[in-house]
Chains A and B, each alone.
Chain A
Amino acid sequence: MDFMSNAGLYIAVIGASLAVALACAGSGKGVGCVGEAAAGVISEDPGKFSSCLILQILPGTQGLYGLVVWFYALFTLGVIGGTPQTLTVAQGLGYCFACLPMGIGGYITAIGQGRCAAAGVSLVAKRPEEMSKGIIMAIMVEFYAILCLLASFLMLLFIK
């Protein structure tokens, strides 16, 4: 295969990789950060494990969204389950940038959500009955990850 004639495809794949890699890296940091806080609370009261677990998985969704964008991009490009498309460099760049909102937005929102959920864990430690409010505050951050997912997805859907 000639490199130049496939450059467009490769550039597009870089974008897809960034979407999943950055989003998962952010989710990892976020989930880890909540986990640290949760372990401290559980050492005092093991009964709060389930509440803490719910808070801990919240920043994990960005990674999943990243995977969804990656998968969808590779699917559209024909890398998965078909013959790879031939793209011009410009088209490749289009796909690449379409993936970026999920990557960058996912990375940052996951960390932000992780910190928020970690604060939620300390809320659960002091006032377990207010757990729903801790979840709600963390979910506010989720909205922006969903917006990123939407932006990336719609661009992948409509870019020709």
Chain B
Amino acid sequence: MSIVKMKRVRVIGLEEEKQELLQQLLSLGCVEISEPEEKITDPQWAALLRRDTSDLTDCKAEGSALTAALDALNRYAPEKKGLFRKRSPISEAEFFSESAKADALATAEEINDSTREIARIFAAENKLAATLASLTPWASLDLPLETTETEQTEVMLGTVPAAAELTALQAELAQATELATLIPVSADKDQQYLLLLAHKSEADLAVGALRSHSFSVVRFKDMTGTAARNIDRLKAEQQELEQARQAQEAAIAAQKDRRRALELTLDRVNQDISRETVSERFLTDGRIFFAEGWIPAERVADLDFLLGTHTAAWEAADPAEGETPPTLLKNPKWMDSINMVTEMYSLPAYNGIDPNPLMFFWYVFFFGIMFADVAYGIVLFLVSFIIIKKFNPKKTMGRMFHLGLWLGASTAICGVFVGGFFGNALEVIYQNFVPGGLDAMPAWMAKFCAGLIVNPVNDPMTVLILAIIIGCFHLLMGQCIHIYMGFRDGQGVDALLDVVPWWIVFAGIAVAALAGTPIVLILGALALICTQGRHEQGFFKKLFGGVKSLYDITSWLSDVLSYARLMALMLATSVIAQVFNTLGALPRNIIVFILVFLIGHVFNIGVNVIGTYVHAARLQYLEYFGKFYKDGGIPFRPLQYDTKYVDITNKEEN
């Protein structure tokens, strides 16, 4: 229930044992190796040691080959994917098997060869298609394409824009020379395709006359025979290419049984990549290495045991002045899920305080208040429970659904007190579908529907007041934590002075409202003026700082009013639910009712779960954390297994 104490580790060992050590550190999963930037720029260090080399480039190349192969597989032999991936367990030895890796890489290479071949075929197909398109207009011309002249004439193919008048062209040509003729071949919406025959002596004249109408000459190089024959040939080629491409695609699809192996190896190569990345952080002179990093104090014994099997000198020291150790939060397993809320904000600084145990119950409670509905709570709980049992998601997903269990339970419990069961579904059902109407409802159910404490739709004012009161307790606890942290860090008086004058002010407001005497309030204001400017220099600045702090009363007001959202969202959940129930019951048809009921409540749960999740978090981040939280912690990122497709099993959980 705290921020884990960190130790600075420094290790000097033999270069030849480095790879083995790194592999063991990866398996141990509790040491973070720091970047040696500072050391490398220090001339004295730089004279002795240099940054170590690694196989990172090779590993990354392997990684991208595998990724490309998997992408190709997904494209040509798509696999049905659920929302969650079930991760298969595997032993460490099997995971790092070199032969399996070599096999998978060979498969990947085959697939990637096929992909490259497909890309080549695609390029060729595109080129063919372009040539075909340029030939098609000439298909009706029974003149071999290679014919550019006869003994006496020039033979030219050419185009003019579709807008040009053919008869006008021919007339103009006739005017320029008598020894030429223009024969239309075909036309489409852009261009007209023409054949120009001209006597050799007059050819330039003929072309010159047509050029003013944007006549441009078309030549087909390297083609013999008529256009129609060429088109047939190209079409045949196209078919061949198509078949070749399909064959390659089938070759890729045929490897679909190797998907698991590829995924496994991709996971393995990713471990290699993280190991080699860390390897570059080691300093070396060729025979020995030096590395520096962080380890949780409680794991030092494990490292001791590990390094005992190597020739190495090492130490684990407390962090020096000015060093910022990374932050790792340690909480009981059942509370771990709240980390996803903390991490979305920012980790606490190393010298801050672990907010998880301080926030967990508030968060779950606020969520319950805002979503308050017995049925919705049960739905949330069951969905989370089934997903955890069936897919056992890890990391963020896992945390999300574990948190879902708590939130569901809390929602159901809060729902009991405010009488929500799919909104007012019970009342609507009795009223419309049960003979005897509302009077037929058992007494306990009627009591539940009226709300054991309050029914938010009938009496929103009471809910608002309750929400504000709960909020005040929340804020008060935040301030108490501020005082606790002050005493812990030796600034207790300061922390007390931050908070206590405000308590006098609040007490003063209460006294003024209840008894009508503003004395305590005035005392409180004076206390604020005297204390809040204490960090300023000089009397007037101190005084001004004090007076200025009176203005903070507005921020307190907005903090307190912010808890009105507890009421607003609770009401929103029940109102929207109620609207759908009413809508569904209107036609008095049970089938319509069930249909509207299902769609409506799924929608309501969907929209409100996200909204409630965010607003419960917001109350922690702004109102609660604002009172005490020191953020900006650097997350602890040890060298450890991080797999996507498989679970490495024969390794203790840490």
Encode B493-514 as 1/0 by CB contact (under 8 A) with A. 0000000000000000000000
Are B611 and A146 within 8 A (Cβ)? yes
Which of B6-14, B165-173, B433-441, B571-579 is found at the contact surface with chain A? B571-579
Q: Which of A81, A135, A146, A150 has the most CB of B within 10 A?
A: A146
B344 neighbours in A (Cβ, 8 Å): 133
Given contacts A81-B586, A150-B575, A153-B575, contact A142 B568 (CB under 8 A): no
Are B610 and A139 within 8 A (Cβ)? yes
Name the residue of chain A whose CB is nearest to the CB of B400. A132
Encode B564-601 as 1/0 by CB contact (under 8 A) with A. 01001101100110010011001000000000000000
Are A146 and B614 within 8 A (Cβ)? no
A80 neighbours in B (Cβ, 8 Å): 586
Are A143 and B615 within 8 A (Cβ)? yes
Which of A81, A136, A150, A153 makes the CB contact (< 8 A) with B610? A136
Nearest CB of A to B67, in Å: 14
Verify if B607 is at the interface (C-beta below 8 Å from A). Answer: yes
A75 CA / B585 CA spacing, docked (Å)? 12
Verify if A53 is at the interface (C-beta below 8 Å from B). Answer: no
Which of B576, B586, B611, B614 makes the CB contact (< 8 A) with A68? B576
A64 neighbours in B (Cβ, 8 Å): 603
Are A75 and B572 within 8 A (Cβ)? no
A154 CA / B569 CA spacing, docked (Å)? 13
Verify if B457 is at the interface (C-beta below 8 Å from A). Answer: yes
Name the residue of chain A whose CB is nearest to the CB of B571. A150
- The tally of residues in A whose CB lies under 8 Å from a CB in B reads 22
Given contacts A71-B583, A135-B610, A150-B575, contact A157 B457 (CB under 8 A): yes
Nearest CB of A to B550, in Å: 30
Nearest CB of A to B238, in Å: 26
Name the residue of chain A whose CB is nearest to the CB of B617. A136
A143 neighbours in B (Cβ, 8 Å): 565, 568-569, 611, 614-615
A72 neighbours in B (Cβ, 8 Å): 579, 582
Name the residue of chain B whose CB is nearest to the CB of A135. B610
Are A75 and B611 within 8 A (Cβ)? no
Are A149 and B572 within 8 A (Cβ)? yes
Which residues of B in the span 592-646 have a Cβ within 8 Å of any Cβ on A? Answer: 603, 607, 610-611, 614-615
Verify if B460 is at the interface (C-beta below 8 Å from A). Answer: yes
Encode A130-160 as 1/0 by CB contact (under 8 A) with B. 0001011001101100110110011001000
Name the residue of chain A whose CB is nearest to the CB of B565. A143
Are B586 and A146 within 8 A (Cβ)? no
Are B614 and A150 within 8 A (Cβ)? no
Verify if A51 is at the interface (C-beta below 8 Å from B). Answer: no
A147 CA / B344 CA spacing, docked (Å)? 25
B583 neighbours in A (Cβ, 8 Å): 71
B611 neighbours in A (Cβ, 8 Å): 139, 142-143, 146
A81 CA / B84 CA spacing, docked (Å)? 46
Name the residue of chain A whose CB is nearest to the CB of B583. A71
Which of B457, B460, B569, B603 makes the CB contact (< 8 A) with A146? B569
Q: Which of A72, A80, A150 has the most CB of B within 10 A?
A: A150
Are A147 and B568 within 8 A (Cβ)? yes
Verify if A86 is at the interface (C-beta below 8 Å from B). Answer: no
A154 neighbours in B (Cβ, 8 Å): 460, 571
Verify if A91 is at the interface (C-beta below 8 Å from B). Answer: no
B610 neighbours in A (Cβ, 8 Å): 135-136, 139
Which residues of A in the span 96-115 have a Cβ within 8 Å of any Cβ on B? Answer: none
B571 neighbours in A (Cβ, 8 Å): 150, 154
Name the residue of chain A whose CB is nearest to the CB of B587. A81
Verify if A122 is at the interface (C-beta below 8 Å from B). Answer: no
B576 neighbours in A (Cβ, 8 Å): 68, 149
A71 CA / B578 CA spacing, docked (Å)? 13
B565 neighbours in A (Cβ, 8 Å): 143
Name the residue of chain B whose CB is nearest to the CB of A137. B614
Nearest CB of B to A160, in Å: 15
B579 neighbours in A (Cβ, 8 Å): 68, 71-72, 153
A142 CA / B615 CA spacing, docked (Å)? 11
A153 CA / B576 CA spacing, docked (Å)? 10
Are A149 and B607 within 8 A (Cβ)? no
A53 CA / B603 CA spacing, docked (Å)? 15
A61 CA / B615 CA spacing, docked (Å)? 18
Encode A61-104 as 1/0 by CB contact (under 8 A) with B. 10010001001100100001100000000000000000000000
A150 CA / B575 CA spacing, docked (Å)? 8
Nearest CB of B to A64, in Å: 8
A142 neighbours in B (Cβ, 8 Å): 607, 611
Are A61 and B607 within 8 A (Cβ)? yes
Nearest CB of A to B607, in Å: 6
A146 neighbours in B (Cβ, 8 Å): 568-569, 572, 611
B586 neighbours in A (Cβ, 8 Å): 75, 80-81
A149 neighbours in B (Cβ, 8 Å): 572, 575-576
A139 neighbours in B (Cβ, 8 Å): 610-611, 614
A147 CA / B569 CA spacing, docked (Å)? 8
Name the residue of chain B whose CB is nearest to the CB of A71. B583
Name the residue of chain B whose CB is nearest to the CB of A68. B579
Nearest CB of A to B421, in Å: 20
Name the residue of chain B whose CB is nearest to the CB of A69. B579
A92 CA / B27 CA spacing, docked (Å)? 74
A160 CA / B610 CA spacing, docked (Å)? 35
A136 neighbours in B (Cβ, 8 Å): 610, 614
A142 CA / B568 CA spacing, docked (Å)? 13
A153 CA / B583 CA spacing, docked (Å)? 14
A147 neighbours in B (Cβ, 8 Å): 568
A80 CA / B582 CA spacing, docked (Å)? 13
Nearest CB of B to A62, in Å: 11
A81 neighbours in B (Cβ, 8 Å): 586
Q: List 25 A-B contacts (CB under 8 A).
A: A68-B576, A68-B579, A72-B579, A75-B586, A80-B586, A139-B611, A139-B614, A142-B607, A142-B611, A143-B565, A143-B568, A143-B569, A143-B611, A143-B614, A146-B568, A146-B569, A146-B572, A146-B611, A149-B572, A150-B568, A150-B571, A150-B572, A150-B575, A153-B575, A157-B457
Given contacts A143-B565, A146-B569, 7 further A-B contacts (CB under 8 A): A68-B576, A81-B586, A135-B610, A139-B610, A143-B615, A153-B579, A157-B457
List the 5 closest A-B pairs by CB distance, nearest first.
Answer: A146-B572, A68-B579, A139-B610, A153-B575, A136-B614
